[in-house]
Amino acid sequence: MVHRTGIYGFLAIYLIILVISYLGHLYTYQHSTTELSSLQLWLYSMSQVTFTHAYSGVIFTAQPTSFHLFSAIITLISSWLFHATLLWLVWRLFGNSSERSFAVARSLTTAGWVMLLCTLIVALFFLYAIPSDLSSGSFIKKMLAGCTLSINSFNNAGFSNWSYFFDENPLAGNFMIQVGVIGGTVLGSLGIYVLIELFSPVKLRQRLANPAIDWSFLTKISLFGAAAFLIAYSVLHIVIGNAEVFANKNILESLSSILMQGVSARGFGWELTHQYGDIGSFLHAAFTFFGAGPISTGGGATLLFFVFLYRMIAPPYHISFQINVTFKIIKTWLILFIICLSVLSFISIISVDDITFSDLFYLYTNHDLQISAGENVFSGILKSTAMITGRLSFITACIIVINRVENASRTF
């Protein structure tokens, strides 16, 4: 098991980040208009490092600027760790001979530069897009809002504290801010590996010199899958929403609202509106489960789930090495998914807790977190466990597959 050191190192660093997140939020928290319990702070802290949208009402929006600044920083650090780890894993699983030899340090450096460039571009757009009257005329709050929106959209982390920055909900009604969120979330959902292949100057020069060079397996899935997903979701959204989709909006605003719903489902699962009933909520949850880009910070099984289904029905001569590897990853992930959710559900049932299976499903797939004033310790443990295990499960599945593939190759 040659990758034990790598996964143990990742887990150790992630555990440290979890502790720092809680201690940092505890330190920056002040007893302002709302007093928070340690459990509420813990759940909010975990949501920031598992990229889970947290519904918390006003209990966190009344906190000082330092509290929300720390939230943005800890989310950025966590996402850097995840993006770098995912990039290293995809090199090991799908890369060429030279990419397979790349060290973890290289993935940290590469992921850091790509993240920095993308978040800066999106943050600059938000500084232009956010009107001063939304942020109460405060440039500092406007700048922090732009950076937070950029970090959270690129890393599929939801918008737990938007009401701290804005006097109204611009995510539901401001066209320019929605465009920024759509752009940032689409970029983040593509994944660092795909962004490098599409926009790296080295890759661009290679394709210009030799037009026969094709995109990689993952890039095709991510690009074409994202396009197909957003088209399908938009059509279903219009059919289900009917007249409500276009109420009090022009065509561009309606399209922006629909795409905003789509990228939120693809990225972090937050429903912008809840007006389409049970069918709409079911479709939204389903798209959240398998809509995210492969090897990205999006939740669920990602678009690789469709490759898994294809592998089950395709004839043997159509199955490539990449398809086989993808099948093994998703198969392993599904086993972990079933085991973890079964254990958590069983614990919830025997403890007579009010957490339902759907609550645990959403938390495990990093959909959203409800934080109420009446949280008890046991429910807090279950919720945070579901979030953390869900966020780690895909990486764990990839590590298991790498070891199996390399052990099998050494056998021969």
In order of 135, 235, 241, 274, 284, the CA distances from 261 in angstroms are 23, 12, 12, 11, 9
pLDDT < 70: residue spans in the chain: 1-7, 31-35, 57-59, 135, 137, 167-172, 241-249, 267-280, 352-353, 406-412
Q: What is the pLDDT of residue 316?
A: 81
The dihedral sign for the CA sequence 256, 258, 264, 266: negative
Write down the pLDDT at residue 109. Answer: 93
The pTM is what?
A: 0.89
Determine the pLDDT at residue 1. 43
Write the CA distances from 36 to 42, 75, 159, 180, 238, integer angstroms.
10, 21, 19, 32, 40
List of residues 6+ apart from 274 with CB closer than 8 A: 281
User: Which residues on adjacent β-strands are paired with residue 54?
Assistant: 369
Strand 368-370, strand 53-55: pairing: parallel
